[in-house]
Structure formats: C-alpha cells, structure tokens
Amino acid sequence: MTGTQAPLGSGFGAASTAHDVIAGIDLKGKNAIVTGGASGIGVPTVKALRSAGANVVVPARNVEAARAALEGLDVEVGPLDLLAPKTIDVFAARFLASGRPLHLLINNGGIGGAPLARDERGYESVFATNHLGHFQLTCRLWTALRAAEGARVIAVSSWAHRTSPVVLDDLMFERRDYDPVLSYGQSKTANILHAVALDRRGAADGIRAFSLHPGTIVDSNFKRFTPPEVLTAFGLVDDDGNALIDPARSRKTADQGAATTVWCATSPRLDELGGLYAQDCDIAPLVKPSDSLNLSFGSPPLGVMTYAVDPDIAEQLSYVSEKLTHVRLPS
C-alpha cells in the first residue's frame, strides 16, 4: 500500500456525480475496459469516461442487450461471462491482439443476494463471479496494462465487506451453511484484497490499483432479491416502492454511485498512490473489527476493515486464486 488509508480532502462528497468528478479530465487516446458497463452504475461510469474522450470497451454476457443499453455512446462491446473462464481468455486475447495499451481496467460487474449456485468447476457463483472472474481477467490483460506506462485497476467493492473476511479454508461454502449475506461480503472483501495485491505487484510497472464502496444504489437490481418489506423497513423505498435518495446516508442514484469509481480511475490526487479503499469520492478511514458497526443497508458506516487491506492476507488470497483459476498474477 502506498499512501495512508485516510481521507485526502478531495473536494467531492457523497452527493457528487460521475459528471462532477470527470469535469476537466482529458482521457483522449486512453483505453478503458468496464465490466458490468451496460447496467447499474456501469452505465454512468461508461458515459463519464466517454465524455472525457476515452475509448471504452464493455464486456457483456448478452452483447445485443449491452449495445442497446449503451446506444449512442460509441463504445465497443464484446462477449464475456465472468462465470465462464474460456470467454474471459478469448476476450482478453482479442484485446491483446489489437495491440492497444490498457490505461483503465474497471472491474465493476458482479452479482449478489442470490441463492446458492455453483459454476461448472463447482465454485460458489458469487465468489467466482465477483472475484475469480476479475482476477483471471486482470491477469490475462497484464501485458496491456503494463504497456500503458501508467494504468489503474479499479475494484468496485462494497461496505458489505464488513460482513465477512475471506474464509480461506472454506471459500466455496462446502463445510459451512450458505448465507447470501456472508457470500457477498466475502466476495467484496476479496475485491479489496485483490486491489492491495495488484498494487504491490504492479507499482513498479506503473500499474496502480484501488477499491471502493460506491454507495447503496437504491434503484438497482439488488431489489430483486430483497423482500419489499425489508426495503421499506430500512427506508430505502417509500410505501409505493419508489427509491428514496439520501446521499448523506449512502442512498445514491446510479450517477452518484459511479462517482467514486470515476474518481478512483481518473483523479490526479491519486497519482503515486495505490492499494487504497475509497468511499464518497475520497479515501476512506481505517476501522477495526472491534469497532461498533451499523450494518444496515441505509446507513453504512465509513471506513474499511483492517482484514480487507492486510497485505499478508492479500498475498494468501492471490496464491489461492492462482490455484483455483490456473492463472498466475505476474510477480
């Protein structure tokens, strides 16, 4: 980790939008890949990068649906399923064959809240999608990241990492009861640790990595797996099911949620820094597991857990991830 896990005073805040953050940033000639770029906070992320002149590639399971969602944005869409390792390899190979350097890799796609499912390898689907798929993609694209001579890898995590560390001796819920909250939390902790490990490996080659909590995007797909009465009880929707936006309590629009991603990807304030976790368009403070936590959807506390930015745990997870994916993170 380069830099202190503490706020910088960025000048932005919880209500800032991706449009606010990208103002004055010039990305002409830069290449970006945004997983999950055709839905949720991915769409305003892509819009912001395009508005600054970046060439954007969006991997998608359903290419036609992604093109429709991004119509008019002049982006490249290619097939990729984070649960299907072969498609990751093919996507990465095609990008490398184009000879383009990769300046921004935004690992934004993900799932959560669903019942237990396993991929063709037998891996638990949330961990496999949110972490292992992005781990493999990042490794396969490393040559292009290095060629940029100044690249950033952004891992979109969540305050939900507070619900679970990575359980290295049972990542796939083979010996413990499956809990969708713990599954999602573990995968989001893995995202943060992945950024820590990436930054340690890549800093010498100009590859820096950051992770972040985008906020609770109350008008998003997560509502599919959350009972309406729970959403109402937490004050995320009104009695008619309409989203209640309150950025000060981390209840954000998609455009506000994308702001921290875009800030991590483009802010000059982060030059020479890396391995840090952000929230509300600034570096978040470090908190201890013993601290009193409010884990409600509506009012998540600021900060990142110590176990999520521990470099030793990050290296252990990288080692395990290499074994599970048969792909090696460059040393």
The amino acid that residue 147 corresponds to is: A
The C-alpha atoms of residue 269 and residue 21 are separated, in whole angstroms, by 12
Contacts of residue 233, defined as CB under 8 A and 6 or more positions apart, other chains included, come to: none
Phi, psi of 34 (to 5 degrees): -125, 105
Residue type, 156: V
The residue count for the chain = 331
The DSSP H or E segment spanning 95 is: helix 85-97
Q: Check if the beta carbon of residue 118 is closer than 8 Å to that of residue 129.
A: no
User: Cα–Cα distance between 169 and 187 in angstroms, integer?
Assistant: 14
Tell me the CA end-to-end span of the chain in Å, nearest whole number: 16
Catalytic residues, which ones?
184
Handedness of CA 261, 115, 308, 152 (dihedral sign): negative
Tokens 């396993």 correspond to 118
Which residues face 278 on adjacent strands? 212, 283
CA 67 remoteness from chain centre: 21
Strand bridging mode 104-107 / 31-34? parallel
How many angstroms separate the CA atoms of 180 and 183, rounded? Answer: 5
For residue 228, give every residue at least 6 positions away whose Cβ sits within 8 Å of its Cβ, in sequence order, or none. 237, 241
**Which residues are bridge partners to 208 per DSSP?**
152
Sequence-separated (6 or more) residues with CB below 8 Å from residue 212? 154, 155, 156, 157, 260, 261, 264, 277, 278, 279
